[in-house]
Amino acid sequence: MTTASQREQGRNLGLYATLLPPLIWMSLLYFVPLLILISYSFWRLESYDIIREFSLINFQTIFGNAAYRAVLLRTIGTALIVTLIDIVIALPVGFFIARYGGRYRTLLTVLVILPLWSSYLVRVFAWKVILGYNGVLNNALLSLGLLQQPSSLFLYNQFSTLLTFVHIWLPFMILPVITAFERLPVSLLEASADLNAGPWTTFRRISFPLALPGVLAGSISVFALTMGDFITPSLVGSTNGILLGNVVSSQFGVAYNWPLGAAFTLVVVVIVFVALTLVSRWGALESL
């Protein structure tokens, strides 16, 4: 009995020793910064001094200011639109790769994730080169005779912001969709064909409902990444299209109002957390 007890204690010590490094890692790099962020959000700035007293003035400023409310709604709307467009693109691409990719499935999947191997800034600047006044798109339209002179309408507006977001985050949507379609039981698809159901009916009533967790997993990734981004709106967007990420960046970097910047960040965290809670009810987390 003593030997068995000692072995049990040894296994427990081994388990604790294994868990200790990731716990320390998570605590130092995630939980502690998050607690500091929450603390700052409830402090306030007075005459460039941070007053470390509990206050809700930052949140009153955010939700009481019409301009800040507009930025908040614009950010949520932009994230939802980008997510929806990526879903529309990812569904046929993911379905084709999963069901008809065959021996080229791995190659096609690598092509999907290939853009992720390049720098984020390179991908954003690539769209500046494409959409710019002397860019690829203007030159192509001039060559086709559709434009008499270059147009500045393609860049520095909401269109260029959405287009860049859709392209940059698209792999994060396609990959879980591919995984979801690969898990579809072939027997169900064969049973649907035996019952004379058409391809669209099979997709609408069998394939898509079963692949929905993968779609939601990709959606929460794209939504969260868009909510927190500030580089893309800065480089290809207009001054009228700033998002919450730009406001957070300006509060921490220019205005030196760290409490208000922390409050904005906490608002983003809460919105993403609520969205994550909602999609997790449909098993999205199992598809990540």
The model's pLDDT over 194-213, given as tens digits with 9 standing for 90+, comes to 888 888 888 888 888 888 98
Under 8 Å CB-to-CB from 252, ≥6 apart: which residues? 258, 261
Q: Would you say residue 19 has pLDDT above 80?
A: yes
CA distance 162 to 80: 11
User: Is the pLDDT assigned to residue 286 strictly greater than 70?
Assistant: no
What confidence tens digit (pLDDT) does each residue in 129-141 have?
999 998 999 999 9
Q: 228 is written with which tokens?
A: 């927190």
User: Which has the higher per-residue pLDDT, 153 or 6?
Assistant: 153
What mean pLDDT value characterizes the chain? 89
The predicted pLDDT at position 241 comes to 85
CA–CA dist 43, 54 (Å, integer): 6
- Tell me the β-bridge partners of 51: 44
Q: Provide the terminal-to-terminal Cα distance of the chain, rounded to the nearest Å.
A: 44
Place of tokens 């008809």: 100
* CB-count burial class (<10 Å; 0-12, 13-18, 19+) for 21: exposed
Output the pTM of the full model.
Answer: 0.87
Please give the Cα distance from 58 to 43 (Å, whole number): 8
